[in-house]
Amino acid sequence: MLESVLVANRGEIALRVIRACQELGVRAIAVFSDADRSAPHVLAADEAYRLGPAPASESYLRVDRILELARRSGAEAIHPGYGFLSERASFAEAVEAAGFVFVGPRSETIAAMGDKTEARRRMQEAGVPVVPGTVEPLVSGTDAVRIAEELGFPVVLKAAAGGGGKGMRVVRGKDEVERAFDAAAREASQAFGDGAIYVEKFLATPRHVEIQLLGDAAGQVVHLGERECSIQRRHQKLIEEAPSPAVDGELREAMGEAAVRAAEAVGYRGAGTVEFLLAGREFFFLEMNTRIQVEHPVTELVTGIDLVKWQIRIAGGERLDFGQADVTLRGHAIECRVTSEDPAHGFLPATGRVRSLLLPSGPGVRWDGGISTGVEIGLHYDPLLGKLIVHAEDRAGAVATMRRALRELRIEGVETCLPFHRRAMDDPDFQAGRFSIQFLEQRPDLLEGRLSSNARLAAALAAALLEHKRRDGFHPRTATGFREGSSLTAWQRSGWPWSNGG
Ligand code: MV4
């Protein structure tokens, strides 16, 4: 087992890693920006070191400073969390070169999966289905037109150095291709310093379903089933769950086997995720994420396997002590990402000081948070405040538990996206598992609490019908025996019986 781990991150994921270290008996070392000097991850760690003068948004990206603090603290390993330096192959390489253990895959694996055309090539060779399209960058606009016509419209142009939807362009007809190609190439070279573009057939309303993997240094790889991640806004996931309502045992096995082949093809070590687009029962490789992901807890709850502890054990050279046949799924888990974004104002990032924080608890509830009362929420960092995760015997039970937990959770002092989550959990389409990656674009009523034009029309019709009936002497309240003004009994008005006399 590793003796110590420096956590090169902040917020809820830093705290999550520190917690895993402490349960494993590993010394947990935090680093912090000046803005974070009394943040929960700093208070929870065994030791904490100041990153020092730098704009707050850059502190956690200071590779040299992080390596210096690793030396000074005598850290054996560095855990990058997610975001920040987690998927920079050059960081993994620098960590290893400085004599520390990088908690994650080999830097060559990170580099190969970061190049999206190389990833597609390697996956195709490994027999993993990829979306029809090119595995080499397009050489010119005319090349793009020719290949797009062969594929058939619509197609999507993507940046080879991109990922996560950055620099993506959907093209619906031949006359748009060259302009879109030029614009995409220009944007990609500005954003990534690499203008390489490739093309895929565009799938209109697939689901985003991803497979969690663990691989050890001895080359054993297991999958831990899927997560459904289709509920997202502008490539930011908001709700994730496991298992997916669209995946049965047979499909899970097929996707899981494909993901394991993908990992074996790159000698994968540690925790990783293979993202797929799922259309009906057809699935296509999209990207491989070489880090721990925000939504990892839903997998932990349905498998009973602690992914962060396994990252640390694997980095320390331990082998997986279970095989594929030992992985079984139990019940259903849902995660709501709680962000400081205001749904009533187009998910505008909100700021403020957390004045009070009431966390939900009780059966089936987990809170992975990175905030405490008094902390200032600014605009320097990602708006994720924490994640509310629930587990129950089945999906309907998990929705019920989440609704209850969302009622209990109170965050005052900063606007959050909680109103959105409450509406989503009440929604019949969400409850039925009827959605694709387009879901929230089609549902401004859920996203912003505003009615879509269809819903407004339906509401207006219902109101007109009700008014018409009322004129005929119909009283909707009396019909259910719930008369205005008489809904409280005498003892309810005088206080609840169990609140008197202790
Ligand atoms: C696609 C696609 C449809 N067809 N590729 C967006 C993020 C990046 N990882 C890939 N993305 C997409 N690639 C083809 N060929 C639709 C998306 C996409 C998407 C994918 C996953 C989750 C949410 C999404 C939202 C919009 C578009």
Residue with tokens 């690499």: 194
CA 286, 287, 289 angle in degrees (round to 5)? 150
Which residue out of 87, 168, 169 has the highest number of ligand 1 atoms within 8 Å of its CB and is therefore the one to mutate? 168
Ordered by where they begin, the domains of the chain are 4-103 (3.40.50.20), 132-201 (3.30.1490.20)
pLDDT tens across the length of the chain (502 residues): 999 999 999 999 999 999 999 999 999 999 999 999 999 999 999 999 999 988 878 999 999 999 999 999 999 999 999 999 999 999 999 999 999 999 999 999 999 999 999 999 999 999 999 999 999 999 999 999 999 999 999 999 999 998 777 779 999 999 999 999 999 999 999 999 999 999 999 999 999 999 999 999 999 999 999 999 999 999 999 999 999 999 999 999 999 999 999 999 999 999 999 999 999 999 999 999 999 999 999 999 999 999 999 999 999 999 999 999 999 999 999 999 999 999 999 999 999 999 999 999 999 999 999 999 999 999 999 999 999 999 999 999 999 999 999 999 999 999 999 999 999 999 999 999 999 999 999 999 999 997 666 667 777 787 788 777 666 655 544 333 333 333 333 333 333 333 332 2
DSSP string, 199-255: EEEPPSS-EEEEEEEEE-TTS-EEEEEEEEEEEEETTEEEEEEES-TT--HHHHHHH
pLDDT at residue number 180: 96
* 3 state SS of 84: coil
Distance 230 CA to ligand 1 centre (A): 10
Q: Which residues line ligand 1 (CB under 6 A)?
A: 131, 156, 164-165, 168, 200-203, 208, 232, 235, 277, 286-287, 437
Q: Where are the alpha helices (DSSP H) in 361-426?
A: 395-408, 418-426
Distance 169 CA to ligand 1 centre (A): 10
* 3 state SS of 305: coil
Nearest to 336 by CA among 422, 212, 396: 422
Q: Are strands 155-159 and 169-171 parallel, antiparallel or unpaired?
A: antiparallel
DSSP string, 174-189: GGGHHHHHHHHHHHHH
What is the C-alpha to C-alpha distance for residues 212 and 247, in angstroms, rounded to an integer? 14
Please, what is the angle between helix 89-97 and helix 107-114, to 10°?
A: 170
What is the C-alpha to C-alpha distance for residues 502 and 492, in angstroms, rounded to an integer? 17
Distance 54 CA to ligand 1 centre (A): 35
Token code pair at residue 228: 């459904």
Residue of the CA atom closest to atom 19 of ligand 1: 437
pLDDT at residue number 457: 79
Longest dimension (CA), the chain: 83
Residue of the CA atom closest to atom 9 of ligand 1: 164
- Determine the atom of ligand 1 nearest the C-alpha atom of 229: 22
Count how many residues are written for the chain. 502
Distance 361 CA to ligand 1 centre (A): 35
Residue of 27, 122, 227, 291 with catalytic role: 291
Kindly tell me the sign of the dihedral angle through the C-alpha atoms of 104, 109, 115, 117.
negative
Kindly tell me the sign of the dihedral angle through the C-alpha atoms of 239, 243, 247, 251.
positive
What is the C-alpha to C-alpha distance for residues 417 and 449, in angstroms, rounded to an integer? 11
Nearest to 383 by CA among 357, 360, 352: 352
Distance 165 CA to ligand 1 centre (A): 6
- Determine the atom of ligand 1 nearest the C-alpha atom of 155: 15
| Half-sphere exposure for 53 (CA within 13 Å, toward CB) | 0
Burial of 148 (0-12, 13-18, 19+ CB in 10 A): buried
The type of residue at 29 is I
Residue of the CA atom closest to atom 11 of ligand 1: 165
Strand ranges (DSSP E) for 262-415?
Answer: 270-279, 282-289, 332-339, 341-342, 348-349, 352-353, 356-358, 365-369, 376-377, 384-392, 410-412
CA 210, 274, 322 angle in degrees (round to 5)? 90
Q: Is residue 291 annotated as part of the catalytic site, yes or no?
A: yes
Distance 136 CA to ligand 1 centre (A): 19
The type of residue at 85 is L
What is the C-alpha to C-alpha distance for residues 221 and 204, in angstroms, rounded to an integer? 32
CB 306 within 8 A of CB 250: no
DSSP string, 23-78: HHT-EEEEEE-GGGTT-HHHHHSSEEEE--SS-TTTGGG-HHHHHHHHHHHT-SEE
Which residue out of 231, 286, 288, 438 has the highest number of ligand 1 atoms within 8 Å of its CB and is therefore the one to mutate? 286
The type of residue at 474 is F
Residue with tokens 């002497």: 473
Residue of the CA atom closest to atom 5 of ligand 1: 202
CB 265 within 8 A of CB 125: yes
pLDDT at residue number 472: 64
CB 78 within 8 A of CB 5: yes
pLDDT at residue number 464: 81
